[in-house]
Structure 1
C-alpha cells in the first residue's frame, strides 16, 4: 500500500511533468473505479493541469477548476510513458491498468495490482468533495504536527496503537508498514492501548512518528515512481521481516498477534506495553 512518503513523491513527480499541460484524451479501462458516475472521466479532456497536491494517501489533480481525485487504496499506483503516441501507449499491455490520461505524447496510467479493485477515481469541483479526503485528519508527514496534537488525538482512547495510527480520520497518511516502523522506533507495543500511554511514551511516540515520516519523505524524493515500492520495502526495519534478526537487539522479528502476518514487531524491544 502506498503511504504518505510514496504518494508525496508521486505528487512531486506529476507536478513537475503535468502542470501547464492539457489532457488530450482519456481511457477508462475499469469502469467500477470511477465513483462519480454522473461526471465521466471525459470531462477532463481539454483542461490544463493547474496543480497536483497530496491529501493523506490521495492525490488531487486540479484541472483548471475541475478536480480529478486519485485514491490508490491497497494496491494502486501510477505509470508514466513519455515520447509515445497516445495510440501506441493505449495498446501497451499493462495487466493492472485501470485508466489512462493522455497529455500529447505522454501517458499517465493508473494501475491496481490487487486481487480486488481498490483504486478510486472522482471527478469533482473541489478536492474535499471526495468522501475519503473530506474526513481526513491532520497529515502525519506535516512537520507542523505537534506533540500536543498527537496527545489530543490519542485522547485516552482504548484502541490499540497500531490500529489508531492507521485511522485516517485521526492521522492521515500512515498505513500498515509505517505504523510498524513508528512503533518499533518508539519502543511501544502495537497492541498497547492509547489510554495506557504515559507522558513520556506519548513523547516517544511523537518523536518516532516525526522522525520516521520525515526521513521516509526525504528518502523517497527523486526515486523513479516505478522503483518506489522496492525502495520502501528495502527501508523497512521490522515490517515484512518476520523471522529475521532485529536490527537493534538481535532478537527475532515476529508477526504481531492477531494480524495474520500483516504486521511485524520485535517483542524484545517493544514488550513494555
Structure 2
C-alpha cells in the first residue's frame, strides 16, 4: 500500500504534470470504485486543473473547484501515459479502474491488482464533505503536528497498542503498515507496547522518529515518477518486508507476526529485548 512519503512524492510529481492542463476525458471501467454520484464524473471534462493536493494517503486533483480524489487502498496505483489510447477501454477487463486524458493527449490510468477492488474515487465540490477526509487526524508533514498534539494523541490512546495508534488514520493521517514498522524499529519499541506505557522521554523519542523516518523517505523519493516509487519504498525498508534477514544494527534475525490478512516485521534484539512475539493466527502474543 502506498503511504504518506510515496503519495506526497506522487502529489508533487503529478502537480508538475497536470497543473494548467484541461481535462479532455474521463472513463470509469470499475464502477465499484466511484463512491459519489454528484457532481458526476462528466462534470470534470473541460475544466482546467489548478493543482494537486493530498489528504493523508489520498490524492486531490483540483479542477477549478471540483475535486477528483483518489485513495489507492492496498493494491491501487497510478500509471502515467505520455499518450492515452484513442479507443475507449473495455469495462471489467484487467486491472484498469479509471482513465483520465488531458488536453494534450497525455494522462494517467488508475489500476488495482488482485480481486478485492478497494480503490476509491470521489468527485466533490468540497473535500471536507467526504467522511474519510473529514475524520483524518493531523498530518505528520504539517506544522500542526507538534509534540503537544502528539502527546495528546498518546493520552487519548490509553492502553491501545502503539502500532495500531500509528496506523489509525483518525489519530495520525498517512502512516500505514510499512512505515509504522520502520518508525517503531527506529525508536526501538515493541509494536505491541501500550501507548500508556511510554513516558515523556519515550513519547519524545517516538515523535522524533516519526518525523525523521518520514522525512528521510520523502527526501529519497521526491521527484521520482510513479513507476519508480513503489520499488524505492520496498528497497529502502530496513525491517518491514525483511523477515528472516539480519538486523543491520544488532545482527538479530528480523521476525514477523502474522494476522488474518496482514503481517508486521520487527527486530527482537532491538525492539523486544530478545523476545519473539507469537503468530497472532495461532496463539496469544508474548509480551
Cα offset, 1:89, TM superposition: 8.1
Q: Which runs of 5+ in 2 are unaligned?
A: 274-286
Q: Residue 150 in 1 paired to residue 139 in 2?
A: no
Q: 1:144 to 1:124 in 2, by over 3 A?
A: closer
What corresponds to 1:30 in structure 2? 30
Aligned-partner Cα distance in 1 for 2:144–2:182: 20
Aligned-partner Cα distance in 2 for 1:101–1:165: 33
Write the deviation string for residues 87-142 of structure 1: whole angstroms up to 9, x where unpaired: 05858xx8311000110310211111133111111111012222211111100233
What corresponds to 2:176 in structure 1? 175
Q: 1:101 to 1:53 in 2, by over 3 A?
A: same
Q: Which runs of 5+ in 1 are unaligned?
A: none
Q: Residue 58 in 1 paired to residue 58 in 2?
A: yes
SS at match of 1:69: strand
Aligned-partner Cα distance in 2 for 1:241–1:259: 19
Alignment coverage as a number of residue pairs: 271
Write the deviation string for residues 123-170 of structure 1: whole angstroms up to 9, x where unpaired: 110122222111111002335522222111011511111111000010
What corresponds to 1:106 in structure 2? 106
SS at match of 2:49: coil
- TM-score, with normalisation over the residues of structure 1? 0.94
Aligned-partner Cα distance in 2 for 1:72–1:134: 18
What corresponds to 2:219 in structure 1? 218
What corresponds to 1:227 in structure 2? 228
Write the deviation string for residues 30-88 of structure 1: whole angstroms up to 9, x where unpaired: 01100112432111011110111011000111110111111111111101111x25405
SS at match of 2:17: helix
Aligned-partner Cα distance in 1 for 2:144–2:246: 34
The answer (yes or no) to whether the contact 1:96–1:112 under 8 Å persists in 2 is yes
The answer (yes or no) to whether the contact 1:28–1:98 under 8 Å persists in 2 is yes
SS at match of 1:24: strand
Aligned-partner Cα distance in 2 for 1:226–1:66: 27
What corresponds to 1:137 in structure 2? 137
Aligned-partner Cα distance in 1 for 2:254–2:2: 23
What corresponds to 2:13 in structure 1? 13
Write the deviation string for residues 178-200 of structure 1: whole angstroms up to 9, x where unpaired: 00000000000000000111111
Aligned-partner Cα distance in 2 for 1:261–1:209: 22
Write the deviation string for residues 239-272 of structure 1: whole angstroms up to 9, x where unpaired: 0001110111000100136577611000111015
Aligned-partner Cα distance in 2 for 1:90–1:221: 31
Aligned-partner Cα distance in 1 for 2:72–2:84: 26
- TM-score, with normalisation over the residues of structure 2? 0.89
The answer (yes or no) to whether the contact 1:11–1:59 under 8 Å persists in 2 is yes
What corresponds to 1:192 in structure 2? 193
Aligned-partner Cα distance in 2 for 1:97–1:109: 7
Q: 1:143 to 1:239 in 2, by over 3 A?
A: farther
